[in-house]
Structure 1
Amino acid sequence: MSVITFYEKTGCAGNALQKALLIASGHDVKARDLRDTHWSSMALLDFLAGVPVARWFNRRAPAVVSGEIVPEELDEPTALALMRDNPLLIRRPLLKVGDESRVGFDAAAINAWIGLREVPGKDLEACQRTAAPALGPVFYVQTAGGGAYPCQFAAVTSDADRCKSG
């Protein structure tokens, strides 16, 4: 499977679910907090090139929600400058596998790119603040090879069978 550099906002429930899906699919996820990275315009463009400028932005960023920043009104140089100054504006996650980089978490596109064990029917890029608690806690089970995969046990149902199969 793939080694994925995964730029996230540490503590984000949505990014945690995305990483769990990648790990469950057998990928080696190297998580990095995008706030701790010094972003140049060229580094950002590795992930964003070919994507419309308005889709570069985290729609839940406070400056976007408040209307202070309107992504649809920005040109590329202005958008890059804003993101360099405030990495929370960057749409997450940023994913890098080998020489290829992508922005966002479209599960179907990621499945076609590197493969997923299962493609969820729900939007994993949307904010998960309200959805995550209903899913129950996630536990990581270590494999014989030293990797780990997530297992989730909700109050009513359990995915224990899936967790046993690793």
Structure 2
Amino acid sequence: MRVVLLVLAAVIAFVSGVDVGGDADAGLGLGPALFSALFALVLSRGTITCDATGIHARNLLLDLHVPWRAVREVVARDLVVVVTSSGAQHRLWAVQRARIAMILNRRSVVDDVVERIESVRPALTDRAADDDRVVRRPAWPSLADVALVVALPPGAFVLGMLV
């Protein structure tokens, strides 16, 4: 899906560049192209997974691993929050509560995710290693995607203007 949206963004930018060919309205097609590329990037990144080693969360900028031994609780707020035994709170951007659910105080996907994590946690914690180090690191593939999003649509736009 991400690749399709990035290609679509490049095509929109290229066609906009060909269409305006240097007019004063030259930047009008670039906005939708950049929006499409950014949308593709944001859609492709957020995940929360659990396995025998712990909770893994990925978002646009960070990869986070919280071992089961370090998890004190998992809480549903505006998004999923993992509280560690040291008291640190890790907010997982991958799943967020819709504003309307917050306003109406209704159940949302965030509640479902927390419920699912809590249902598998006891069995997986019993088998988990003694390691309790939380690992946060930059999401380098995602940062490369950001560079692609920044460069591809404007480059296609300029190429379209030159054709």
Q: TM-score, normalised by structure 2?
A: 0.24
Higher RCO structure (Cα 8 Å, ≥6 apart) = 2
Q: Which has the larger radius of gyration?
A: 2
Please state which structure has a larger fraction of its residues in helix.
2
TM-score of the two chains, using structure 1 as the length reference? 0.24
